[in-house]
Chains A and B, each alone.
Chain A
């Protein structure tokens, strides 16, 4: 049974052999990394093959699930302390503002729709056409509680762009954002400590086609 099963949609499961561990880094054997996502059955059970034929400290099982961060840019009135009575929340607009998925076309479209339906009228649009030079999004402050950027289409886009599956390298990507957690980083025993996989991940997240994917469905 996979740890954390039922806490969200399974993104990937993998195993790996720990060769060395310090307070700051845990070194995995790159050749031992094994993507077992496909072997997980619908009940979250998985049969792990005999341990990799290499000596190390221990074998580890990794399981990653997709959960909504629910990070609010504006909090809902019922989650802040109020000095005046609040009316009941009836629509999603009254429920604060979540940060949209900045790595998907759907996230961008959500923002566009909100502006078109709630903020812009024809007069404002005409004025913007006259004097607006650019749009500027200020200060994306969603780094405090998150330690890894992710978006649902990332594994598909990663495979398409980088030519291999990201699944067994996800442990390396954890804590690649500035994070308040002080847990150790996973690295591999490759000459570059596996940083090429992190670079591939970052390149995928930054790729323009991620926002306008020609060969993928809307993110």
Chain B
């Protein structure tokens, strides 16, 4: 049955191609080309679909009947191989096109909703689709180990990621009436992109990366909190998730800072 449906598909392809061929203007060369093509295209599905002893193939086949003059359909190895190659190439190119569109789809523009990323399961969603924290640092004067701890805590309660940004009085917070937040550190040393900022950025990044790799090694990404139940959360779960990414550290970027987990 599978073979027959395959042949039906080939017959349909032949039908389509014949329709395309019909648009050729009638000139001697194209007519003979058309004739040959039609023979070839008819040959592949018909020949293999019919029994070998069926000799009067032309009179019974509506496709071949339309060809004027005698048609000799001899089974020639080289010719049929050539025909099979043509049909197979068309099929292959269709497969390649489909696969490529899948790849394009996989890139996506939003890794949380429409990209071909690992979603995990409903009970244990992957870090790609877990909620993320937005962590707005006042400026680069904050304690970096405190920040790293906070991010680990976010991971422990199941966050999929943390967005790390510099608040810097929100640029213009003092212009709004009622905002009297005073600058609490020396911005000559703690500006965005300062060595102090980089220090926080790197230390947080490296400690989170270290944590995730250690957890992956020791617990296979899951914390065991009772003999019967293994809970997978946060950073651990990220390591466990069947993510295609080889890294367990997730980073996103935006204007003011970087996003971690």
Q: How far is the CA of A100 from the CA of B196 in the complex (A)?
A: 23
- B184 in contact (CB, < 8 A): yes
Whether the Cβ atoms of B205 and A118 lie closer than 8 Å is no
**Interface flags, A58-90, vs B, CB<8A=1, else 0:** 000000000000001111110011111111111
Within 8 A of A (CB), among B173-189: 174, 180, 182-189
Q: How far is the CA of A114 from the CA of B115 in the complex (A)?
A: 30
CB contacts (< 8 Å) of A114 on chain B: these are 193
A93-B194, A138-B254 given; A83·B171 CB < 8 A: no
- A1 in contact (CB, < 8 A): no
**Min distance, Cβ A90 to any Cβ of chain B, angstroms:** 8
Contact of B186 among A80, A87, A118, A135 (CB under 8 A): A87
Within 8 A of A (CB), among B104-140: 107-111, 115
- B246 in contact (CB, < 8 A): yes
Interface size on B, residues (CB 8 A): 44
CB contacts (< 8 Å) of B108 on chain A: these are 133
CB contacts (< 8 Å) of B183 on chain A: these are 77, 80-84, 86
Contact of B246 among A89, A96, A124, A130 (CB under 8 A): A130
Q: How far is the CA of A85 from the CA of B154 in the complex (A)?
A: 34
Contacts across chains A and B counted by CB atoms under 8 Å:
115
Q: How far is the CA of A138 from the CA of B251 in the complex (A)?
A: 16
- B27 in contact (CB, < 8 A): no
**Residue in A closest to B201 when the chains form the complex, CB atoms:** A119
Whether the Cβ atoms of A121 and B174 lie closer than 8 Å is no
- A50 in contact (CB, < 8 A): no
**Interface flags, A201-216, vs B, CB<8A=1, else 0:** 0000000000000000
Contact residue range for chain A? 35 or more
CB contacts (< 8 Å) of A119 on chain B: these are 193, 197-198, 201, 258
Whether the Cβ atoms of B253 and A131 lie closer than 8 Å is no
CB contacts (< 8 Å) of A85 on chain B: these are 186
A75-B172, A77-B188 given; A118·B193 CB < 8 A: yes
- A137 in contact (CB, < 8 A): yes
**Min distance, Cβ A70 to any Cβ of chain B, angstroms:** 12
Within 8 A of B (CB), among A77-132: 77, 80-90, 93-94, 96-97, 114, 118-119, 121, 123-124, 127-128, 130-132
Whether the Cβ atoms of B171 and A94 lie closer than 8 Å is no
Most chain-B CB neighbours within 10 Å: which of A77, A85, A86? A77
Q: How far is the CA of A137 from the CA of B168 in the complex (A)?
A: 17
- B37 in contact (CB, < 8 A): no
CB contacts (< 8 Å) of A83 on chain B: these are 182-184
- B89 in contact (CB, < 8 A): no
Most chain-A CB neighbours within 10 Å: which of B109, B174, B191, B256? B191
10 A-B contact pairs sorted by A residue (CB < 8 Å): A75-B169, A76-B187, A83-B184, A86-B183, A86-B187, A119-B201, A127-B205, A130-B246, A136-B253, A137-B254
Further contacts, 15 of them, CB under 8 A, given A80-B169, A121-B202:
A72-B172, A74-B166, A74-B168, A74-B169, A74-B191, A75-B171, A82-B184, A86-B188, A93-B191, A124-B201, A124-B205, A130-B247, A131-B249, A134-B110, A141-B171
